[in-house]
Amino acid sequence: MSTSLKIHQFLNQYQHKLKLNFTSRQVGLNHEIQLSRLTANTFDAADYFNVIRTSSIVVVGYQESRYIHRLEADEQTKLFNTLFRGPVRVIICSQGNLLPETMIELCESREIPVLQSELGDSELLDNTRYLLSRALAENTNEHGVYIEVYSLGVFITGKTAVGKSELALSLISRGHRLISDDVTLFTRSTPDRVEGSSPQLLTDFLEVRGLGVVNIRTMFGANSLKRSRPLSLIINMVELDRDNRTEFDRLGNNLKTRNILGLEFPQVTLPVAPGRNLAVLVEAAARNHLLRIGGYDAAQDFITRQNQAIARDSDATD
């Protein structure tokens, strides 16, 4: 997997946060900052100056600057030419550390901008890595409503007009919090975590058939909204009819999963029919999932109790 961010986008978003100024001319701004997790060509988005394991953003700190300045001019040139064989796109010097002018000119000739930060070594690298980890994370848009129920990120899916937004409105009125309606942006923020949030245009709004678009913040207050939440559970709403009424799991011991961004998440299929209190059922599904996380499985408990009853009856008849 390889993802990227153009240098001018990086500067527009993070120049102020990282306290950056140009030391070189403003060259190569359309080049891309990248990270790669490909087995044969793995590299980080940002790291200290290292000609063996290079990165897209090279940070020159106190030790790196001292080492470069101790070298003769031809040795500096050889060192930088070796560095340029990697995916280097930007060089950032931490507070008080500078590159020799000839090396800045060499970077300019390769269209690699050199920046100066007011942050110290570790603060600069840590902040850069943190910001890029979010900017370069894998992401995808999924159709559905995303809501926080009992601290869990619950993604409600189903066909158009099945009642996802109405269910979300009912849950919000019961004290749960809306994250996004209609489209949810999922981002794989860490190797074992997918986080869901709302596209900027849709934030605060919920479309309910018959009512139109309503502003949840205005209607219920800011506490009825959540900016983002790690995904925990998927509820798939399916209309109950004669053809599918026998397809649903009676015990709940055959939990299905759905893959989002390479991770598997438990999916509960919720039959939709007149008279069913769907908000209560979603709350129950969330509570049941919390029990599963804690190690308790109601379906397995019931099966164990049933087997014990069968064994007792068998002993009584012997």
What is the tens place of the pLDDT at every residue in 161-195? 888 999 999 999 999 999 999 899 998 877 788 99
Give how many domains the chain has, as a whole number.
Answer: 2
Which of 85, 250, 315, 318 is the catalytic position? 250
- The pLDDT assigned to 115 comes to 95
pTM over 0.75? The answer is: no
> Which of 86, 112, 135 is the last residue before a domain boundary?
135
Q: Indicate if 102 and 89 belong to the same structural domain.
A: yes
| Residue 164 falls in the annotated catalytic set | yes
pLDDT over 80 (residue 149): yes
Backbone angles phi, psi at 261, to 5 degrees: 55, 40
SS3 category, 287: helix
58: domain range? 2-135
Q: Indicate if 173 and 212 belong to the same structural domain.
A: yes
Q: Indicate if 91 and 70 belong to the same structural domain.
A: yes
Lowest mean pLDDT among 17-21, 24-28, 44-48, 69-73: 44-48
DSSP character at residue 223: G
Q: Indicate if 9 and 148 belong to the same structural domain.
A: no
- The pLDDT assigned to 43 comes to 67
* Average pLDDT value for residue range 201-227: 89
* Whole-number Å distance between alpha carbons of 179 and 204: 8
Q: Indicate if 119 and 184 belong to the same structural domain.
A: no
Q: Indicate if 224 and 113 belong to the same structural domain.
A: no
Which of 143, 209, 227, 276 is the catalytic position? 143
Q: Indicate if 37 and 186 belong to the same structural domain.
A: no
Lowest mean pLDDT among 13-17, 34-38, 98-102, 118-122: 34-38
Q: Indicate if 70 and 206 belong to the same structural domain.
A: no
Q: Indicate if 151 and 292 belong to the same structural domain.
A: yes
Phi-psi region of 79 (alpha: psi -120 to 50; beta: other; left: phi over 0): alpha
* Whole-number Å distance between alpha carbons of 263 and 194: 8
| Residue 250 falls in the annotated catalytic set | yes
| Residue 85 falls in the annotated catalytic set | no
pLDDT over 60 (residue 1): no
Task: State pLDDT tens for residues 257-313.
Answer: 999 988 999 999 888 888 888 999 999 999 999 998 898 878 788 888 888 888 887
Which of 182, 217, 258, 297 is the catalytic position? 182
SS3 category, 303: helix
| Residue 159 falls in the annotated catalytic set | no
DSSP character at residue 24: S
The CATH number given to whatever domain includes residue 211 is: 3.40.50.300
Q: Indicate if 174 and 264 belong to the same structural domain.
A: yes
- The pLDDT assigned to 249 comes to 64
Q: Indicate if 18 and 82 belong to the same structural domain.
A: yes
Q: Indicate if 103 and 161 belong to the same structural domain.
A: no
pLDDT over 50 (residue 209): yes
